[in-house]
Chain A
Amino acid sequence: MKHALPLTLAALACGFSLAMTPPAAANEACGSGEPATGEPIKIGAIVGQTGPADFSSASKSAAAFFDCVNANGGINGRPVEYLVEDDAWNPETAANAAAKLVNDEGVVAMAGSTSFIECGTNARFYADNGIGVIAGVGVPRECFFSSNIAPMNMGPRLSTLGAAIDAYENQGARSFVCMAPNIPNVGGWFCEGLAAWGADKGVETHNVLHDPATLDPTSLVLQAMAMGADAIIVAEPAPAAIPIFNAAEDQDLREEAIWLGPTSIYDTAFPAAVGDYWAGAIKAHIEFNTLDSDGVDNTAWLSIMDEYGNASDPRDSFSQGGYLAAKIITGVLRGIDGDITRQSVLEALQTMEAVDSDLLCGAWSFGPGDRHNANQAGRMVTMTADGWETSRDCFVSDDPELADIRS
């Protein structure tokens, strides 16, 4: 016990010296000022952490961002209390989690949620309760077709389509296989986007939908190959995509088709996981800027993750989405005059000015409408032996379903 005081002092001194010299970029992105005190402002998120794949990185970067905000002035002096619940990829758990956050905890908004099922379960609940949601990563259709949910990302439908558009324009692909999980309004919805876009171009599309819990990669690959398409789009989360590419390698199918994927496979660990065999042969469409880009937001995101996140938190596209969701809700909260309530936050979101970021191709705003899909353009990257390189800069995924938003 007698060593406790010097130790505490040393720890404090160490903490102070660290706190005094944060990277400049981190500070600028999350504000300036004294560490926040006072009554916390509660913000929630629901993520699919346990289950078929860990899909929680957006909430981790959002948590790091809010920690940074709290250390640098908070929301006009008040700290953010960020409450993250796991939905275990189960609608029942997701509904319980939303009830807990909204009814019991009294969150004023949600930011940084990422889930394959949560929007479908809770979209109506959020609308009924007047909760505004900036999803870090929206996956199912309901994330993009709800009055109260606006995802940061383009969505897997537009990302899958983006990959197809690039292969159509640059590699001459005229027929596609779309491989995706058959979760309601997930896989079928992505793949339908291809068909809708390709209908007047003479493009042929086939779907291979499967249960995510019982993945049999070899049979999926063989099923896809049997359709004889020019290109195969593996629209799966990375943990599911890796065994599919491994199974295709076992059959030596690299040259038999053009292999594509949406943002979900754009992960720094992916090239090593699928191996050198695939170097140069896999192209991915990405919904945010490249992970090593040198814009202001990407630099700030990485430095905030280093300073406030855990070393084990993923630095992937979804983490970028969580960072942006947290940054935008922070800006909106700081701009509210008067009480911060569900209602004032939702109003402020709906009337916010569009925000530019180097992570996005165009400006992003929540918007007032019945549905939201502000992010519509992305980039293409090609996998190399040890990473990814950009092969095409910003282009729009021209989905006929977006006609109402564009007009």
Chain B
Amino acid sequence: MAMSETSRTPLPHAAPRGFLAAAASQHGGLITAFFLMALIVPFLGSYWIKNFTSMIAVAIAAQGVALLHARLGFVSLAGIAMMGVGGWFGLRLAHATGLPFEIVLVLAALCTGAAGVLLGLPALKHRGLIYALITLMFAAGFHVVVSSIGFPDGGSGFWGRIDGSAERQLMARPAIAASDLAYFLYALAIAAAAFTATHIVTKSAVGRAWAMIRAGDAVAHAAGVRIGIARAKAFGLAGALAGVGGCLLAGSIGQLDGRSFDPVQSLLLYGLVIIAGPWSLAAALIAGFLYRMFPAILDSWGVDGDIAITIFGLALIHAIVSAPRGIAGQLHDLTSAIQNRLSGVDR
């Protein structure tokens, strides 16, 4: 299946040119997408603004899933569950400390990053299917636990739950982004920062170490990479991204519910990351779009949003069989073809 394929799939084109030029040409589409969202979404109305905010939150978490898959060849089937962990930390810290949203966001990212490293520990011994199953078990376990203990809502005690007759508290939004629209733009800016950070890390020495590990542990050893530490960094970064996503989602709604974090959602997110093409930074945004917006768009057309799952299944088969670099890869090929055609005309 895909997991065994991943270790054999060749790394897509490395950046041959200067860093900035490479980033701009590689991610031109992504940058355009961010600008387009900032320009268009404000005019779509409250419902779509809220949906786009959720989509951005999911996209940040999806970036972590794509990172683990594309850079290290690890299948994480706990993407949405890790978002839930981030949301839990965010809500707990916000209610317990009353600190500004930004600080809560950073702390939640750190805590979830630590949780990500812990979830990555089995990866020291296991790869492929076994590790994927471990993450799926984690996602299922998280759902059971969080459904039972619930997300913090301003109560006292370790779990922070209101019991019985008290007012449930909503998580405060950042002072500069209280309205839905401002919060969407705020989330978009955070996402841009998170994507940039991911890009910088993957192009750094750490990213090169990951590439070695992906090629094989023996190769990495031979190159002097400390495999355990390099992997821990990847799991930590993926966890932190999920933490940021979860915290942004909690801030958007003010509270969270276990129902949003069942293991099927995590499985779905992984499938969508594969469809989107995890080797590209844009994949996370595409996966977030498919995850959150596609069902909403179907719903708004009067089609049952659940049918999206069926469509995703077909798309996954297509991605595995005929488009291994996913939607992002196809878009990239398309823009390259257009550029080539244009430069050909110029000549």
Residues on A lying within 8 angstroms of B by beta carbon are: 51, 89-92, 95-97, 99-100, 102-104, 117, 120-121, 124, 141-142, 145, 182, 184-185, 188-189, 192, 211, 213-214, 401
Contacts and interface: CB of A to CB of B under 8 A. Distances in A.
30 contacts: A51-B259, A89-B259, A90-B259, A91-B255, A91-B256, A91-B257, A91-B260, A92-B54, A92-B257, A95-B253, A95-B254, A96-B50, A99-B46, A99-B180, A100-B46, A100-B47, A104-B45, A104-B46, A104-B47, A120-B168, A141-B165, A184-B153, A184-B257, A192-B165, A211-B147, A211-B148, A211-B258, A213-B147, A213-B258, A213-B259
B194 interface: no
Interface of B: 45-47, 49-51, 54, 144, 147-148, 150, 153, 161-165, 167-168, 170, 180, 249, 252-260, 262, 296
B150 A99 contact: no
A103 B46 CA distance: 6
Contacts of A211: 144, 147-148, 258
Given A91-B253, A95-B252, A142-B168, 9 more contacts: A92-B252, A96-B50, A100-B45, A121-B253, A185-B162, A188-B163, A192-B164, A211-B144, A213-B258
Contact of B260 (A90, A145, A182): A90
B147 A188 contact: no
A56 to B, nearest CB: 15
User: Top 7 closest A-B pairs, CB basis?
Assistant: A103-B46, A100-B47, A192-B164, A99-B46, A104-B45, A211-B147, A96-B50
Interface of chain A: mostly helix, strand, loop or mixed: helix
A182 B148 CA distance: 7
Given A91-B255, A99-B180, A124-B170, A184 B47 contact: no
Contacts of A90: 257, 259-260
A189 B147 contact: no
A121 B130 CA distance: 39
Given A99-B50, A104-B46, A184-B150, A92 B162 contact: no
Contacts of B180: 99, 103
Given A141-B165, A189-B165, A121 B47 contact: no
Contacts of A51: 259
A184 B162 contact: yes
Nearest to A96: B50
Contact of A96 (B51, B164, B167): B51
A185 B257 contact: no
Contacts of A100: 45-47
